[in-house]
Structure 1
Amino acid sequence: MAEDLEPLLSRDFNLDSLVSLRREVERRSEQEGLTGLALYRFVVAVNEITTNAVRHGGGGGRLSLWKGPGRLRCEVTDRGGGLPDGAERAQTPPPTSPNGRGLLLARHGASRLDVHSGADGTSVVLELTYP
């Protein structure tokens, strides 16, 4: 991790802890000055990625959150089988599809989103810069 980032939160999660994790991410982000729509979008982005880890990545994962000057960085890792080829570049699913919007929503809530996926799991890094 870059030297200019300070750890805020590091926690394992599963289905039973998703709600409390979302609240903790929101509280920590708010303490760092994130407000309004930017706060809402960032928390939704993190929630989408953690939910994907539970649903598709082996039932849980680990979330780490750091702060830096004017930015928050969140990394979510899981131990699932990895994303299907091209999933991180997927387009908006048809309106009738009940799934497939997680990464899309996450991209809207972050300044940067990086996905690294393989047979040993997936790592998603979301970074938000703000004034």
Structure 2
Amino acid sequence: MAEELEPLFSRDFDRESLVTLRREVERRSEEQGLAGLALYRFVVAVNEITTNAVRHGGGHGRLTLWKGDDRLFCEVADRGRGLPSGREWAPPPPATSTTGRGLLLARHGASRLSIRSDGDGTSVLLEITYS
């Protein structure tokens, strides 16, 4: 569905551009009417996925943001080795762990999250519905 919509913006990113990218996602999402807690959660979700792309997906990726009716879509794609089998549904790490919560936070911040992953990379599509 999102592939048929005109992108609001699309950017390549790496570790050095994550903060700027997060601000741009927040600004563009807010311009489209996302506000309050929904805006905060969506931006955190996108940030977690872009950070994962940098850490585990080859050091860089591409983010594309779309709007459709009362939904906002964000796709994050990288060219890493892909997720290990079953990792996309792994249980959360122990409470004492300082890592491993990215997908969990992203799932809580989006209305829907889908993952495609193979040896050529990973693509995560986040969707948030709002009024």
SS in 2 for 1:55: helix
Quote the residue 2:40 is aligned against: 40
Counterpart-to-counterpart distance in 2, 1:97 and 1:10: 33
Q: What's the CA shift for 1:6?
A: 2.9
- State, as a whole percentage, how many aligned pairs show the same letter: 75
Residue of structure 2 equivalent to 1:49: 49
2:70 maps to which residue? 70
Provide the C-alpha distance between the structure 1 equivalents of 2:29 and 2:73, rounded to a whole number of angstroms.
10
Deviation at 1:74, TM superposition (A): 0.4
Aligned counterparts of 1:2 and 1:33: Cα–Cα separation in 2? 21
Distance in 2, matches of 1:51 and 1:69, equals: 28
SS at match of 1:105: helix
- Tell me the TM-score normalized by structure 2: 0.96
Report the secondary structure of 2:95's partner residue: coil
The aligned length equals: 130
What is the CA RMSD across the aligned residues, in angstroms?
Answer: 0.9
> Does structure 1 residue 107 correspond to structure 2 residue 107?
yes
Moved over 3 A (4+): none
What are the ranges of 5 or more consecutive residues in structure 2 without an aligned counterpart?
none
Query: Structure 2 CA distance, aligned partners of 1:27 and 1:6?
Result: 18
Where does residue 92 of structure 2 map in the other structure? Answer: 92
Checking the alignment, whether the CA contact within 8 Å between 1:6 and 1:68 is kept in structure 2 is no
Tell me, yes or no, if structure 1 residue 120 matches structure 2 residue 120. Answer: yes
Indicate whether 1:80 and 2:80 are aligned.
yes
Structure 2 distance, partners of 1:83, 1:65, is 22
Q: Aligned with 1:13: secondary structure?
A: strand
Structure 1 unmatched runs, 5+: none
Matched letter for residue 107 of structure 2: R
